[in-house]
Amino acid sequence: MLLFWQLLKERFRGTPWSLIVTVYLMISIGLFNLYSASGADVSPGRFNDQLHWVALGTLAMIFWGVIFDVRTIERLTLFSYLVVCALLLAVDISGQVAKGSQRWLAVGPVRIQPSELAKFVIILITARSFAYVKGVYEFTLLTLWRQIIVIGIPFLLVLGQPDLGTAGLVLLIGCFQIAFVRINWMSLAIVALTGLTASIVAWNFILYDYQKQRVLNFLNPMRDPKGAGYHSIQSMIAVGSGGVWGRGFQQGTQSQLSFLPERHTDFAFSVWAEEQGFVGCVVVFGLYLLLLLQVFQVAEKARDSFSALMALGVAGFFLFHFFINVAMVVGVFPVVGVPLSLISYGGSHMLTIMSCIGLLVAVERRRAMSST
């Protein structure tokens, strides 16, 4: 038994416990909020499901962070990327349709959303793609061809479901990692011009009508207050009615009277703002700031470029989910179906989050091992 505990202690050596405490504090807030938002005291189905997903997510964190080391993760990156791309292709061919999008894949009794897993593998494959580029001082579009291809494939597969919000996050996370390498200014200008041109083309020939409606109603929610603008208006009412201290647990009128749609997922923060008020929002913002500082600290102390870029990808993951979701619920960004990580309900997203935390654990364990 003593030998077992020694082996276990050695295996967990270097684990960033302060980071993990922050993560589980935020998960606890999410569960508390979900209990209120979903009426778990009457129908505990979603709440119990989320508890199961948190448990599975913890196993995923241990899997990637403790059982595997950084070098093993790097070797598994290409395989993981190809598996997720195959799952995305399977979704596009025969996935289950929900709310107008073909995003789900049935694996036995469980439904998974491979587009969530795409966010995880894009972190890995982008970091790995730079590990094999040697002697390049300044990157151009020609020397970034690997990164453009590996980011572009899952981006297009997710976009075809169609899931514009998740596809955009896949692209943003990959670009966030690339932003930390030196890039030629002319290449940046070409990318900006191409992005502007692509936006014009997408608006006229690619975007679905409901996606255009989201943008138009973002600019003016009152143009269709009972239709496409309904989500945004109800969310802003919920956030604004919270005041300083909030209405109290299970006392929010927008959520408890079902005016607020998707209150357990995309608009979970709206429920929190209404019931816990400005003070509660400051607590969540403070925890997110602390989490991001801890993640950037892991990246700064990483022992190799693959580990550093991987940690930066995780930082981008949390950063974009936070800003887009909060901006969405307060009406300064279109409603694009982006959850608030660690707070919103969602099984595939929770597995992805905790797998990302596992990557940070692996990076910190590698640093601790190399320091001795």
Burial of 9 (C-beta count, 10 Å sphere; 0-12/13-18/19+): exposed
N-term to C-term CA, the chain: 26
Question: Is 95 in contact with 142 (CB distance < 8 Å)?
Answer: no
**CA gap 372, 370 in Å, rounded:** 6
Burial of 316 (C-beta count, 10 Å sphere; 0-12/13-18/19+): buried
**CA gap 123, 173 in Å, rounded:** 7
Read off the DSSP letter of residue 95: P
**CA gap 15, 13 in Å, rounded:** 6
Per-residue pLDDT of the chain (372 residues; tens, 9 = 90+): 555 555 556 667 778 899 999 999 999 999 999 998 887 766 788 889 999 999 999 999 999 998 888 999 999 999 999 999 998 888 877 766 555 555 667 666 667 788 889 999 999 999 998 877 655 566 766 677 888 889 989 998 888 777 778 888 999 999 899 888 777 667 667 766 776 787 777 777 777 776 677 666 656 665 656 655 677 778 888 888 888 888 888 887 777 776 777 777 888 898 999 999 899 999 999 999 999 999 999 999 998 889 999 999 999 999 999 999 998 888 777 777 789 999 999 888 999 999 999 999 999 998 877 766
Question: Is 77 in contact with 146 (CB distance < 8 Å)?
Answer: no
**CA gap 360, 127 in Å, rounded:** 13
Token pair in block for residue 111: 């439904």
Question: Is 289 in contact with 297 (CB distance < 8 Å)?
Answer: no
Q: What is the pLDDT of residue 109?
A: 66
Cα-based angle 55, 154, 138 (whole degrees, multiple of 5): 110
**CA gap 274, 263 in Å, rounded:** 11
Cα-based angle 106, 359, 170 (whole degrees, multiple of 5): 55
Q: SS3 for 23?
A: helix
Q: SS3 for 105?
A: strand
Q: Which residues contact 262 (CB under 8 A, 6 or more apart)?
A: 231
E strand or H helix that includes residue 244: none
Burial of 339 (C-beta count, 10 Å sphere; 0-12/13-18/19+): buried
The pTM score is: 0.88
3-state helix, strand, coil in the chain (%, to 5): 70, 5, 25
Q: Is 262 left (phi over 0), alpha (psi -120 to 50) or beta?
A: left
Instruction: Find how far residue 102's CA is from the centre of its chain.
Output: 19
Residue 44 has a CB neighbour count (10 Å cut-off) of: 13
| Backbone angles phi and psi of 82, in degrees to 5 | -65, -40
The domain spans of the chain are 26-37+44-371
Here the contacts of 252-255 (C-beta below 8 Å, separation 24 or greater) are 252/36, 255/36, 255/37
Kindly report the length of the chain.
372
